[in-house]
Amino acid sequence: MQTIFEYKHKGAANATINRELSALRRILNLGAKQTPPKVNRVPYIPMLKENNVRKGFFEHNEYLALRDALPSYLKPFVTFAYKFGWRDEEIADLTWSQVDRQRGIVTLEVGETKNDDARTVYLDAELKEIFEDLWKNRKRNGILIPNVFPNKKGNGPIVNFRKAWNAACRKAGLGYGYKI
């Protein structure tokens, strides 16, 4: 078994080390609860301090420059992300069944978010217009696409947009390091 110092030397982040320590703690606790116990004493396992604060927020002018530099299929996606700050996976997985176009509401139900909380947002005029355009264009080659934000080919969800994102960041003069 490797020590914390060996993990740190290999470049592992504190959060990664903490997840592994949590797994070890869980294994030991389960062993102690067996009949007969497989572990007679569960040691105290201290956790490392984690610094997982988000970095790389956009100023409005930077967002506008990036949005203009993106391919057209990503512009609605990034506009939604900028206005609501949802995780990219949550936005990519968004389907029309989660959208109430008449009332301008988008909802994620309990269990569909990272923290398992439900979330509801109200679309502003710009996003309502974007959603109407996406709704009108949701049919591709005779097939209705359930995803609100289709991929470049228009046949499914956006899966990986990092190459387009990084190119747009460079084109907009932002360099690398910005995360959606």
Residue extents of the structural domains in the chain: 1-53, 60-171
The DSSP secondary structure of 80-109, one letter per residue, reads HHHHH---HHHHHT-BGGGEETTTTEEEE-
Query: What is the architecture of the domain spanning 60-171?
Result: Orthogonal Bundle (1.10)
Angle, CA 118 vertex, CA 116 and CA 123 arms, to 5°? 135
CB-based burial label for 21 (10 Å; 0-12, 13-18, 19+) = middle
Report CA-CA distances (Å) from 94 to 70, 127, 135, 152.
Answer: 20, 14, 13, 16
pLDDT of residue 99: 95
Q: What are phi and psi of 19, to 5 degrees?
A: -65, -40
pTM score: 0.68
pLDDT of residue 110: 82
80-125: pLDDT as tens digits:
999 998 888 999 999 999 999 999 999 988 877 777 788 899 999 9
- pLDDT score of 142 more than 80: no
pLDDT of residue 97: 94
pLDDT of residue 55: 63
Q: 25: pLDDT confidence band, cut at 50, 70 and 90? A: very high
152 Cβ contact list (under 8 Å, min separation 6) = 71, 73
pLDDT of residue 112: 78
Residue 137 region by backbone torsions, left for phi larger than 0, else alpha for psi between -120 and 50, else beta: alpha
> Mean pLDDT, to the nearest integer, of 39-50?
90
